[in-house]
A and B are shown apart, each in its own frame.
Chain A
């Protein structure tokens, strides 16, 4: 399940900011920036905003679980924590979004620290349970204080980011690019190497003089912060925060989509975010079986290409290219 570095990364220089390594990423960003020029449909733009936010949800989960190996079934704790913080501030105090979104991230980072502390001692099923339980706490609290949180309905009328769809789209692209760029930079630096070593062999990492406690906690905090920012952004973009942002279903979808995209690659979950959300929408024609097909295909992906879609496609493409380039050698 845990991926090795794939060939592309090994064949290129080790510097984390070598531009050749990120050619494809730059191309994608430019494509995203130019998209509104060609696509005028507000429906599609709205969908892409959701995709951008989901890409941050998934890649921040990947930092925690794919890279550091701390399995989390409670990502909705961070997402919902950030979203509800922003929701409360905006709904009751009318705080502008450029304050609430970072604050949402900070609250989620604190939640990440709070979850990280017990998680230091836990492994495997125990850690899974702790994350499950922690996200249930927030969901439970929103039900207990329904008078303030709006209960199942949530809060309608969270302050909008902007009335213009295209401006909103660019905000979401900016969020996605900054967050995933930060994550990609992080995992390609020495920090990422340390996280991987914790994932592969925790006692080995500790024996090599790595302060495992510090790095684990930092990862929980960063993952929480990014997810919280994205959650707060999502709340403002939809002008609504509801219990679906705190639900177990959301946490599970985050896990499944990231695994389908390819754990421990950052770019895999991001691509999965776009692919699967768009797939979801196209399958809307056959509404009844939409999520059915989708969850079944996730099971198949887990069974037959456990590395995930994106790493598999990359490695197939690489074999093809190398065969075309040197037919005699193969």
Chain B
């Protein structure tokens, strides 16, 4: 029973991080057709910014969170405007340049902070007992709560606001949205900003638990990619469902067998899905 509840809680935390990352990745893919392999590099940049501002400089928590998330968003805009926009016609070129950028960010952080793991101070030091049995630290709980709030806000934002409808319009029909007076290039920039911010939030909140290091982008990249394809590229609900599946699978396997096998099982799932149903669980048919 205790193990079951532990799996439930830790699986939820794991899934929430993947969901935050995968939603951003899926958004920019669905709208602009950009496979942004530098997405988890934004997650890393967010983690390092919060480390610099909050743990090293000892600034106010809310202030450093806002600054690091917005700064990462601006980095996202720069990447989109300077590097992706000129190549957006070719899917392969975009993938290659974003992976080059991810390496670039890795090297920038490696030369600034060195190859060692950096430990961050927790935002709030406490441990709770959930359901009277499962011990969980405040940081993980905070991550879970923030992720849920952010994802609900994002969903409302996309489905309910005028701005969100513009994003949906560009995703559905680029030419049609131009006739409606929407500038697709500007929408791409906005979406990239949101996507980078989401990655930065995920990075900032999980970093105190996992630590920050210059290779931290590699591990979630494959996982996030798996979530997005499993859910169907560009499908919001599908992506979250897939993040939950992958997050829980990993935790279940890690609890019952070994932490390394969790990774393998996730990869096995996706290789199977790619063979059987390449459009994912809730994806539309690729054109």
B274 touches A126 (CB 8 A): yes
Chain B residues with CB below 8 A from A143, complex form: 260
A295 touches B83 (CB 8 A): no
Q: Mark A272-295, 1 if CB is under 8 A from B, else 0.
A: 000000000000000011011001
**A173 contacts the other chain (CB 8 A):** no
Contact of A122 with B97 at beta-carbon distance under 8 Å, contacts A132-B222, A248-B218, A296-B104 already known:
no
B96 touches A255 (CB 8 A): yes
**B252 contacts the other chain (CB 8 A):** no
Q: Report Cα–Cα, A215/B264, bound state, in Å.
A: 30
Q: Report Cα–Cα, A291/B229, bound state, in Å.
A: 31
**A23 contacts the other chain (CB 8 A):** no
Give the A interface residue count (CB, 8 A): 41
B93 touches A306 (CB 8 A): yes
Q: Mark B101-119, 1 if CB is under 8 A from A, else 0.
A: 1111001101100000000
B218 touches A249 (CB 8 A): yes
Chain B residues with CB below 8 A from A292, complex form: 104, 107-108, 110-111
A130 touches B274 (CB 8 A): yes
Residue of B35, B82, B91, B103 most packed against chain A (CB within 10 A): B103
Chain A residues with CB below 8 A from B87, complex form: 302-303, 306
**A141 contacts the other chain (CB 8 A):** yes
CB-nearest residue of chain B to A133 = B267
CB-nearest residue of chain A to B109 = A292
**B258 contacts the other chain (CB 8 A):** yes
Q: Report Cα–Cα, A247/B101, bound state, in Å.
A: 18
A118 touches B274 (CB 8 A): yes
A121 touches B278 (CB 8 A): yes
CB-nearest residue of chain B to A121 = B278
Chain B residues with CB below 8 A from A140, complex form: 260-261, 263-264, 267
Say which residue of B95, B107, B226, B267 sits within 8 Å of A291 (CB atoms). B107
CB-nearest residue of chain A to B112 = A288
Question: Restricting to B68-87, which residues have a CB under 8 Å from any CB of A?
Answer: 82-83, 86-87
Chain B residues with CB below 8 A from A35, complex form: none
Give the B interface residue count (CB, 8 A): 44
CB-nearest residue of chain A to B279 = A126
A175 to chain B, nearest CB (A): 27
A71 touches B92 (CB 8 A): yes
CB-nearest residue of chain B to A258 = B96
Chain B residues with CB below 8 A from A129, complex form: 222, 225-226, 229, 270, 274
10 smallest A-B Cβ distances: which pairs? Answer: A292-B107, A140-B264, A143-B260, A295-B103, A125-B35, A288-B111, A295-B104, A133-B267, A144-B260, A291-B107
Query: Taking beta carbons and an 8 Å cutoff, which residues of B are in contact with A?
Result: 29, 35, 82-83, 86-87, 90-93, 95-97, 99-104, 107-108, 110-111, 215, 218, 221-222, 225-226, 229, 233, 258, 260-261, 263-264, 267-268, 270-271, 274-275, 278, 286
Given contact pairs A144-B258, A292-B108, A295-B103, a sample of 11 additional A-B residue pairs in the complex whose CB atoms are under 8 Å apart: A121-B278, A124-B35, A130-B274, A132-B225, A133-B226, A140-B267, A144-B261, A252-B102, A255-B96, A289-B111, A306-B87
Chosen A-B contacts, 29 in total, with CB atoms closer than 8 Å, are A118-B271, A122-B274, A124-B92, A125-B95, A128-B95, A129-B222, A129-B225, A129-B226, A133-B222, A133-B225, A133-B226, A133-B271, A136-B263, A137-B264, A140-B264, A140-B267, A141-B264, A247-B218, A248-B218, A248-B222, A249-B103, A249-B218, A253-B103, A256-B96, A292-B104, A292-B107, A292-B111, A298-B100, A299-B101
